[in-house]
Amino acid sequence: MFRIICLFVLSLFSISLKAQQNRLIKLKIDLSKTAQVIENFGSSGCWYSESVGNFWPSEKKEKIAELLFSRKINDDGSLSGIGLSAWRFNIGAGTLEQGSNSGIKDFNRRTDSFLNPDGTYDWNKQVGQRFFLQKAKDYSVETLIAFSNSPPVQFTKNGLGFKTEKDFTTNLRDDRYENYAQFLTNVIKHFDQQKIHFSYISPVNEPQWDWSRKPGEADQEGTPWTNAEIFKVTKELNTVLEKEKLTSKILISEAGMLNYLYAGTGKATQQIQSFFDEKNALYVGNLSCVPKTIAGHSYFTESNNKVLLETRKHLADTIKKYQLNFWQSEYSMLADGFREGQQGDRSPMDCALFLAKVIHADLTVGNATAWQFWNAYEPGNAKRNTRYYLIALQPKPDFKDGEFMVTKNLWALGHYSRFVRPGMTRILTETIPDKENELQKELLVSAFKNKDNKLVLVLVNYGKVDIDIELEIKNAKRNYTTATTYVTNTEEGMDMKLQVKKKPSETTTIKARSIQTILVD
């Protein structure tokens, strides 16, 4: 009997030892194998900036701005914010001034316009939006982007900020293209004079959707555009920007789904080929204000891992063919893909991990050079389903005050935005053993270096088992002596929390269901 017990104990020990060995993954980073150069990580202040930035007490809105934009590291090693390097500012269409006649249900989704009905401008409009824009400037956010969901209502066919007909053509009147281009240029020029420079102006948004509603039932401003209409407005805007000698670039086309950029049969599909094939009549690659960049949104292309990866692989191949940069310019978890087959609410960490997985795929498979979240803040609860926002607002009924809570999503984005700075280059990585096992499938790794060869690694352990990592760096021109780690996991307060510094040669444990950023210097 004693012999049987001893054999049983030895068997358990052997199984445990084997499990420990199977947990070990060697991560090889060859600094000579590089991919895309990162331009920015950002978010948008659309909708709720107006109430929060205009009416909320100073200490609350200042704290929200700090969480989004600050790069300060406190004395205890904690981070004041996620250091966004891009901020998206919505140029309003004037539906707020229309009030209930706007046809938009929620007053928070109506926007005022700098353009008055008589053609004059009132630069005191959009107070709340301008507050966060100014804070982005104050925190030295590198890239500011102005975008429009709808032309000013005085330029639209129906006098509204959304469509009432389902014909998938623009709501902009045929005789107002020049006026719309001049309006956008005047906004850019005004802010330039205020020492706030928009690097990019985006004149169309998700042109594939019909944006049609009955008056009183609309959710927001919006208009479809055909490819021919996008070409026309882009060319007109390019002409006016040139005339005014402004340096802002035109960002197109903010496609509603990534596959519209390279495929499809509708009026606003195959946009890469339409706009950047020199043989196409809609070619814009020769316009002085149009960079070799195309933007799309990652919505509805992440229903499962197969769709997630195949969509981005096809996109990357098309981008490479036409020698473009790809921006993922808007995403939150609108569809049910983030549920991954689960019923009911998902936990904040479930949402954060899924968000990190999408960012990872866009960067490492889609080769995105920029990645931007949709709304930085919306009404919600940080303790429950947090798929729509980075910061959950609990506003009072009139939205003129309230409280807010930070979500795990904020830190999931922060694992990329805070230390992966503009100008850094993504490095290809390899995990060993060569034969991929289940742990390797659960481990998502991306690596980046700056000009001084300082390294930033972002590791997402999507599985339920801890993984040990051994790091091997090849073709390094310097010795790496310290590895500083920031961790987010399911625990309360574990939000990009600083861990003990180690030597890069020491084994690092990536806890189950966690995100880690490792700074190697």
The yes-or-no verdict on residue 460 having pLDDT over 70 is yes
Q: Which of 128-137, 312-321, 432-441 has the lowest mean pLDDT?
A: 432-441
- Is residue 308 in some structural domain? yes
- pLDDT computed for residue 299 by the predictor: 98
pLDDT band at 82 (very low <50, low <70, confident <90, very high): very high
**Domain end among 422, 451, 469:** 422
- In this structure, are 172 and 230 located in the same domain? yes
Q: Which helix (H) or strand (E) element contains residue 44?
A: strand 40-44
What is the crossing angle of helices 227-243 and 177-193, to 10°? 50
| pLDDT band, very low/low/confident/very high, at 262 (cuts 50, 70, 90) | very high
21 falls in which pLDDT band (50, 70, 90)?
A: very low
Q: What is the pLDDT of residue 261?
A: 98
Q: 238 and 95 in one domain? A: yes
The whole-angstrom separation of Cα 193 and Cα 43 is: 24
Give the confidence band of 441 by pLDDT, cuts at 50, 70, 90: confident
* Domain-embedded: residue 186: yes
* Strands (DSSP E) found in 279-369: 293-297, 325-330
E strand map for 433-481: 443-449, 455-461, 467-474
Place 4 in a pLDDT band, splitting at 50, 70 and 90: low
Q: How far is CA 43 from CA 14, 32, 191, 228, 278, in A?
A: 50, 31, 20, 29, 32
| 219 and 193 within one domain | yes
Q: Determine the straight-line distance between the first and last CA of the chain, rounded to whole angstroms.
A: 56
Residue 146 buriedness (CB in 10 A; 0-12 / 13-18 / 19+): buried
Cα 270 to its chain centre, rounded Å, is 22
Same-domain pairing of 432 and 453 = yes
Task: Write out pLDDT tens, residues 235-259.
Answer: 999 999 999 999 999 999 999 999 9
Q: Are strands 370-375 and 40-44 parallel, antiparallel or unpaired?
A: parallel
386, 375: one domain: yes
- Joined tokens for residue 37: 């150069």
Residues 289, 252 share a domain: yes
- What pLDDT shows up at residue 323? 98
Q: What is the pLDDT of residue 16?
A: 44
- The count of C-alpha atoms lying within 13 angstroms of the C-alpha of 498, restricted to the half-sphere facing its C-beta, is 11
Could you tell me which residues are beta bridge partners of residue 456? 448, 519
Q: Are 287 and 234 in contact (CB under 8 A)?
A: yes
User: Which pLDDT value is given to residue 140?
Assistant: 98
Whether residue 454 is contained in a domain is answered as yes
- Confidence band of 361 (pLDDT split at 50, 70, 90): very high
E strands in 331-383: 370-375, 377-379
Check whether residue 242 and residue 365 sit in a common domain. Answer: yes
Neighbours of 6 (CB within 10 A): 10
Q: Is there a single domain that holds both residue 283 and residue 333?
A: yes
Tokens of residue 471, six digits: 């790091």
Stretch among 122-131, 318-327, 343-352, 419-428 having the lowest mean pLDDT: 343-352
**Quick one: which H or E segment has residue 320?**
helix 305-321
- In three-state form (DSSP H/G/I as H, E/B as E, the rest C), the secondary structure along 96-144 is HHHHHHHCECCHHHCCCCCECCCCCECCCCCHHHHHHHHHHHHCCCCEE
Supply 6's token pair.
């001893």
- Mean pLDDT across the stretch 328-352? 94
Q: Say what the pLDDT of residue 13 is.
A: 44
pTM: 0.95
- Residue 438 binned pLDDT confidence (cut-offs 50, 70, 90): confident
- What pLDDT is stored for residue 100 in this prediction? 95
- Domain containing 445 — which CATH number? 2.60.40.1180
Domain-located, residue 193 = yes
Q: What is the pLDDT, as a whole number, of residue 493?
A: 87
Give the tens place of pLDDT for each residue, 368-417.
999 999 999 999 999 888 999 999 999 999 999 999 999 999 999 999 99
The pLDDT of residue 435: 59
Contact 432, 29 (CB under 8 A): no
Are 302 and 196 members of one domain? Answer: yes
Identity of the residue numbered 370: A
Based on the fold, state whether residues 76 and 202 are members of the same structural domain.
yes
Mean pLDDT on 463-474: 95
Per-residue model confidence (pLDDT) at position 263: 98
Q: What pLDDT does 444 receive?
A: 97
Pair 375, 461 in one domain: no
- How much is the pLDDT for 439? 73
316 within 8 A of 365, measured Cβ to Cβ: yes
**Burial degree of 22 (CB within 10 A; 0-12, 13-18, 19+):** middle
Q: What pLDDT shows up at residue 436?
A: 65
Compare 8 and 465 and report the one with higher pLDDT.
Answer: 465
Task: Indicate whether 403 belongs to any domain.
Answer: yes
> Greater confidence, 435 or 65?
65
What residues make up the domain containing 438?
Answer: 22-36+427-520
- Is-contact 67 82, C-beta < 8 A? yes
- What are the Cα distances from residue 114, in Å, to 297, 334, 504? 27, 30, 53
Answer yes or no: are the C-beta atoms of 409 and 348 closer than 8 Å.
yes
What amino acid is encoded at 499 in this protein? Answer: Q
Of 398, 422, 446, which residue constitutes the final position of a domain? Answer: 422
For residue 2, tell me if it sits in a domain.
no
The whole-angstrom separation of Cα 139 and Cα 2 is 70
Q: Provide mean pLDDT across the span 256-266.
A: 97
Q: For the packed helices 58-69 and 127-138, what is the interaxial angle rounded to 10 degrees?
A: 50
**How many domains does the chain contain in total?**
2
- Is residue 7 situated within a structural domain? no
Average pLDDT over the chain reads 94
The per-residue pLDDT for 221 is 98
Does the residue 184 lie in any domain?
Answer: yes
Q: Examine the pLDDT at 9 and tell me if it is beyond 70.
A: no
Q: If you average pLDDT over residues 47-54, what whole number do you get?
A: 96
Domain-terminating residue out of 368, 390, 422: 422
CATH of the domain at 323: 3.20.20.80
pLDDT for 18 equals: 41
Same domain, 189 and 107: yes
- Residue 465 CA to residue 468 CA, distance in Å, equals 10
The pLDDT, as a whole number, for residue 182 is 98
